[in-house]
């Protein structure tokens, strides 16, 4: 797909790996130089859409701080090393620890970029098997695992997440998501803005439930401010109303449901009047939203990270789909539909309509006894597993594309724990707040040197598609691809330190080709490669009951573990948190913790600011631009105040991923405006006990003017 347009200029097609929208990009190069990056008009899925981060791939490729050779720590200082030296160091230090203490002594943590890289996502399990560890952690438990659990319990597959069919819907209720900025999550939908505008132009309505009047709320028909952490109350008020008013319309779902009566019983206590104080949305408004959902020809409810990073994350995620079922809009055009991915989906393999379903708690974490969910323990258990002596203690860590020092509650505690490890290996492209603790860092390629095929996101896409992109530039000589690094590490651990790097027959392209052939469209990789801009596989279609993988072959509306947790929702009605509540936010020119070193994104106004409502600012004596002090969990930070009518009174917002002033990291641009680490203020013991997801939202915090 590389075409010459002049003697030296070339145009390359490349899928952006930086967020879930998975836009197709056109990268123009001249020799080794990048001339421009634009949205690829010919992309069958994103049609030329791009955001500022897509453009920043040039800065990322050229970033002098991006690691290009392995680093080994010698006498406390990192020194550049060859790949063979780095592998030899790992061979010297890691296998003896496993021999002495067993596989569980190695913790593995995988971060957000892993979900975007087939070379990491598909090969990391082989390393885990080689080690034989059960101590797996990931960014999932800071993010979407409640939705994966509720989807797994209801539909039988962790990745069977229903997504809004935005191009055909009439009414969309959005909770705790800001796709205008985030570009969508558990919903792969490039150009949300354009699609939302088109929807409203055809007469559709959008209602956004969020403590802040976000960019998404501002563009919608209605914004409903909600008390942080209050979604379970609001959603229960709606579900209650559907039964009380006899508005339930099951339509084509009727023969495929289990647990409807149990559900009706279970929501009985949660009438809108009782729910109003907990969510801050009055009973009449709850009923009005329920009525709009019931009356819309085609409607969809979509909840995202704001609904997951709460004590009741799993309940919220479940209630969103309960509403989609009760309105008859699940698995229906214009409702919440299931993608049919061309490859790698559980719900297109095995027996159609039935499966093993999902279970949790096959084992429990050693210290807090948190249940395993989707093969992982909560990442908020990481520090205690390193700190607490005894059999099974984590003494070595392999950290793959993750920055828990900034991304995880009590990051400073994690930093301290990391510095106590016997051995730490980072696979990362930067020497940053987390990888500075490693003994060896093995760099990955620049995205422009790597092939790309998404495993995860075509399972959550607004349309069915198959797209592949090749490398734009050749990789540096001698540097392995990340999948080769992972397989080499597995060899080292399995006592084959001299084994050569794996060849292409074991590589991603062979894997993709196999998966496409086995997939529901019977494609080949050559066919996908040959199609400019990918292959469009059409609008989403009804998949009931073929996509179900529950043991019953039904949609489970009343999973017992979820119903059991409802008692805690009732108990929480009387325990309103005190003081100001802290929430996060995202910025278009930022991506979690690691994109603040890219000049094109780092320019412009200060981004790590505290948003606060004018009334609260006045009461606390906080002036625009002045420093506010924030205290929680025994930590105090300060951030510049940004007074905003968009905030709900009593709620303040600080973005995550900042705090780039830690010694020993090497991100020169980011260090100039470091910001502060929101996660230093959050507790690492506050979790949704069902999914293990961290509570990141609605956390009480003391706010005052700087003395």
Token pair 């993750």 is at which residue? 402
Does 313 engage in binding with ligand MGD (CB under 6 A)? no
Distance CA 347, CA 324 (A): 19
Supply the minimum distance, in Å, between the C-beta of residue 139 and Mo ion.
6
Does 444 engage in binding with ligand MGD (CB under 6 A)? yes
Which of ligand SF4, ligand MGD, Mo ion, none binds 557 (CB below 5-8 Å, type-dependent)? none
Torsion over CA of 91, 94, 100 and 106, rounded to 10 degrees? -150
Beta strands 635-643; 440-442: pairing state: unpaired
Distance CA 699, CA 195 (A): 33
Q: Nearer to ligand SF4 by C-beta: 60 or 238? A: 60
113, 152, 176, 190: which one contacts ligand SF4 (CB under 6 A)? 190
Supply the minimum distance, in Å, between the C-beta of residue 197 and Mo ion.
25
Distance CA 481, CA 470 (A): 13
Does 156 engage in binding with ligand MGD (CB under 6 A)? no
Does 228 engage in binding with ligand MGD (CB under 6 A)? yes
Kindly list the distances between the CA atom of residue 503 and the CA atoms of 344, 446, 509, 580, in Å, as whole numbers in the listed order. 22, 20, 11, 56
Q: Nearer to Mo ion by C-beta: 379 or 535? A: 379
Q: Residues touching ligand SF4: how many (CB under 6 A)?
A: 12
- Interacting stretch for ligand MGD, rule CB under 6 A, among 70-78, 429-437, 459-467, 534-542? 429-437
Does 34 engage in binding with ligand SF4 (CB under 6 A)? no
Q: Nearer to ligand MGD by C-beta: 85 or 587? A: 587
Q: Return the number of other C-beta atoms located less than 10 Å from residue 494's C-beta.
A: 14
Q: Return the number of other C-beta atoms located less than 10 Å from residue 614's C-beta.
A: 14
54, 113, 190, 411: which one contacts ligand MGD (CB under 6 A)? 113
330: closest CA among 543, 632, 589?
543
- Interacting stretch for ligand MGD, rule CB under 6 A, among 127-135, 345-353, 359-367, 403-411? 403-411
Does 431 engage in binding with ligand MGD (CB under 6 A)? no
Supply the minimum distance, in Å, between the C-beta of residue 10 and ligand SF4.
20
54, 113, 228, 280: which one contacts ligand SF4 (CB under 6 A)? 54
Reported as half-sphere exposure (CB side, CA atoms, 13 A), residue 477 has a value of: 0
- Residue 623 · residue 685 · CB < 8 Å: no
395, 594, 690, 695: which one contacts ligand MGD (CB under 6 A)? 594
| DSSP states of 79-142 | EE--HHHHHHHHHHHHHHHHHHH-GGGEEEEE-GGGGG-HHHHTTHHHHHHHHT---EEEGGGG
Q: Nearer to ligand SF4 by C-beta: 49 or 78? A: 49
- Residue 209 · residue 319 · CB < 8 Å: no
- Interacting stretch for ligand MGD, rule CB under 6 A, among 394-402, 531-539, 565-573, 632-640? 394-402
Q: Residues touching Mo ion: how many (CB under 5 A)?
A: 1
Distance CA 654, CA 211 (A): 13
Does 656 engage in binding with ligand MGD (CB under 6 A)? yes
512: closest CA among 547, 482, 473, 467?
467
Distance CA 380, CA 693 (A): 8
Does 633 engage in binding with ligand MGD (CB under 6 A)? no
Token pair 């995860």 is at which residue? 456
Q: Nearer to ligand MGD by C-beta: 24 or 179? A: 179
Q: Cα angle vertex 153, ends 151, 154, to 5°?
A: 65
Distance CA 653, CA 697 (A): 9
- Residue 593 · residue 657 · CB < 8 Å: yes
Token pair 């050559």 is at which residue? 526
- Interacting stretch for ligand MGD, rule CB under 6 A, among 161-169, 227-235, 502-510, 512-520? 227-235
Residue 173, helix vs strand vs coil: strand
- Interacting stretch for ligand SF4, rule CB under 6 A, among 20-28, 390-398, 515-523, 568-576? 20-28
- Residue 381 · residue 137 · CB < 8 Å: yes
Q: Nearer to ligand MGD by C-beta: 16 or 427? A: 427
Which of ligand SF4, ligand MGD, Mo ion, none binds 177 (CB below 5-8 Å, type-dependent)? ligand MGD
Distance CA 279, CA 226 (A): 6
Q: At what angle do helices 560-572 and 260-267 cross, to 10 degrees?
A: 10
- Interacting stretch for ligand SF4, rule CB under 6 A, among 16-24, 282-290, 454-462, 509-517? 16-24
DSSP summary character for residue 242: H
| DSSP states of 245-265 | TT----GGGGGGEE-HHHHHH
211, 237, 272, 480: which one contacts ligand MGD (CB under 6 A)? 211
Q: Name the residue number minimizing CB distance to ligand SF4.
A: 54
Distance CA 294, CA 327 (A): 6
Which of ligand SF4, Mo ion, ligand MGD, none binds 584 (CB below 5-8 Å, type-dependent)? ligand MGD
Supply the minimum distance, in Å, between the C-beta of residue 142 and ligand MGD.
4
Does 360 engage in binding with ligand MGD (CB under 6 A)? no
Which of Mo ion, ligand MGD, ligand SF4, none binds 316 (CB below 5-8 Å, type-dependent)? none
- Residue 583 · residue 651 · CB < 8 Å: yes
Does 563 engage in binding with ligand SF4 (CB under 6 A)? no
27, 44, 51, 602: which one contacts ligand SF4 (CB under 6 A)? 51
- Interacting stretch for ligand MGD, rule CB under 6 A, among 77-85, 181-189, 196-204, 520-528? 181-189
143, 428, 642, 646: which one contacts Mo ion (CB under 5 A)? 143
Phi, psi of 657 (to 5 degrees): 95, 5
- Residue 462 · residue 540 · CB < 8 Å: yes
Does 281 engage in binding with ligand SF4 (CB under 6 A)? no
Q: Nearer to ligand MGD by C-beta: 382 or 523? A: 382
**Where along the sequence are the contacts to ligand MGD (CB under 6 A)?**
19, 111-113, 117, 139, 142-143, 175-179, 181-183, 185, 209-212, 214, 226, 228-229, 231, 304-307, 310, 400-404, 407, 427-430, 432, 434, 444, 583-588, 590-594, 656-657, 678-679, 682, 696-698
**Where along the sequence are the contacts to Mo ion (CB under 5 A)?**
143
**Where along the sequence are the contacts to ligand SF4 (CB under 6 A)?**
16, 18-19, 21-23, 50-51, 53-54, 183, 190
């Amino acid at each position: 797909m590389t075409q010459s347009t002049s003697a030296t200029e070339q145009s390359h097609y490349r899928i952006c790996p930086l967020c879930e929208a998975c836009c197709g990009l056109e990268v123009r190069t001249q020799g080794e130089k990048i001339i421009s990056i634009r949205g690829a008009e010919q992309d069958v899925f994103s049609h030329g859409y791009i955001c500022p981060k897509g453009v920043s791939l040039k800065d990322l490729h050229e970033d002098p701080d991006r690691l290009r050779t392995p680093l080994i720590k010698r006498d406390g200082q990192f020194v550049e090393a060859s790949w063979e030296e780095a592998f030899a160091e790992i061979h010297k230090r890691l296998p003896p620890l496993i021999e002495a203490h067993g596989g569980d002594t190695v913790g593995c943590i995988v971060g957000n970029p892993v979900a975007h890289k087939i070379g990491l996502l598909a090969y990391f399990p082989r390393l885990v098997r080689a080690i034989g560890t059960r101590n797996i952690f990931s960014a999932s438990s800071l993010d979407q695992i409640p939705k994966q659990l509720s989807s797994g319990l209801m539909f039988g597959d962790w990745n069977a997440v229903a997504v809004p069919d935005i191009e055909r819907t009439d009414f969309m209720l959005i909770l705790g998501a800001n796709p205008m900025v985030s570009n969508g999550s558990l919903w792969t939908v490039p150009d949300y803005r354009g699609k939302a505008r088109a929807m409203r132009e055809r007469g559709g309505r959008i209602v956004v439930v969020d403590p802040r009047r976000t960019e998404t709320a501002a563009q919608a028909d209605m914004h409903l401010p909600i008390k942080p952490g209050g979604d379970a109350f609001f959603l229960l008020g709606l579900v209650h109303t559907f039964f009380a008013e006899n508005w339930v319309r099951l339509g084509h779902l009727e023969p495929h449901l289990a647990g409807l009566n149990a559900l009706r019983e279970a929501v009985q206590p949660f009438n809108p009047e009782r729910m109003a104080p907990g969510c801050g949305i009055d009973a009449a408004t709850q009923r009005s939203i329920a009525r709009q959902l019931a009356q819309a020809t085609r409607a969809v409810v979509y909840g995202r990270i704001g609904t997951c990073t709460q004590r009741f994350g799993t309940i919220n995620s479940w209630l969103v789909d309960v509403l989609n079922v009760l309105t008859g809009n699940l698995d229906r055009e214009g409702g919440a539909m299931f993608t049919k991915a061309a490859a790698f989906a559980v719900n297109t393999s095995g027996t159609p309509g039935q499966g093993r379903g999902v279970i949790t708690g096959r084992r429990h974490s050693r210290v807090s006894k948190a249940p395993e969910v989707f093969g992982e323990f909560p990442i908020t258990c990481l520090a205690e597993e390193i700190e607490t002596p005894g059999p099974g203690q984590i003494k070595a860590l392999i950290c793959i594309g993750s920055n828990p020092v900034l991304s995880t509650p009590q990051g400073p505690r994690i930093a301290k724990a990391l510095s106590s490890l016997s051995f730490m290996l980072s696979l990362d492209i930067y020497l940053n707040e987390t990888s500075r603790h490693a003994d060896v860092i093995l760099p990955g390629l620049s995205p422009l040197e790597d092939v790309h095929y998404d495993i995860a996101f075509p399972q959550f896409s607004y349309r069915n598609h198959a797209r592949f992109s090749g490398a734009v530039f050749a990789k540096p000589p001698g540097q392995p691809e990340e999948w080769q690094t992972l397989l080499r590490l597995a060899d080292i651990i399995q006592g084959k330190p001299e084994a050569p790097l794996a060849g292409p027959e074991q590589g991603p392209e062979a894997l993709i080709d196999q998966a496409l052939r086995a997939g529901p469209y019977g494609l080949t990789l050559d066919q996908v490669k040959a199609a400019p801009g990918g292959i469009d596989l059409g609008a989403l279609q009804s998949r009931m009951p073929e996509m179900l993988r529950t043991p019953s072959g039904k949609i489970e509306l009343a999973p017992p573990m979820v119903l059991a947790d409802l008692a805690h929702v009732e108990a929480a009605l009387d325990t309103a948190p005190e003081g100001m509540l802290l929430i996060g936010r995202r910025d278009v020119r930022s991506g979690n913790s690691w994109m603040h070193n890219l000049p094109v994104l780092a320019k412009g106004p200060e981004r790590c600011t505290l948003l606060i409502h004018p009334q609260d600012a006045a009461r606390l004596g906080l002036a625009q631009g002045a420093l506010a002090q924030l205290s929680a969990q025994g930590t105090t930070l300060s951030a510049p105040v940004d007074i905003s009518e968009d905030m709900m009174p009593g709620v303040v917002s600080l973005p995550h991923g900042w705090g780039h002033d830690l010694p020993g990291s090497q991100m020169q641009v980011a260090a100039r405006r470091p910001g502060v680490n929101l996660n230093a203020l959050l507790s690492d013991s506050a979790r949704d006990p069902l999914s293990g997801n961290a509570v990141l939202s609605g956390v009480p915090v003391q706010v005052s003017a700087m003395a």
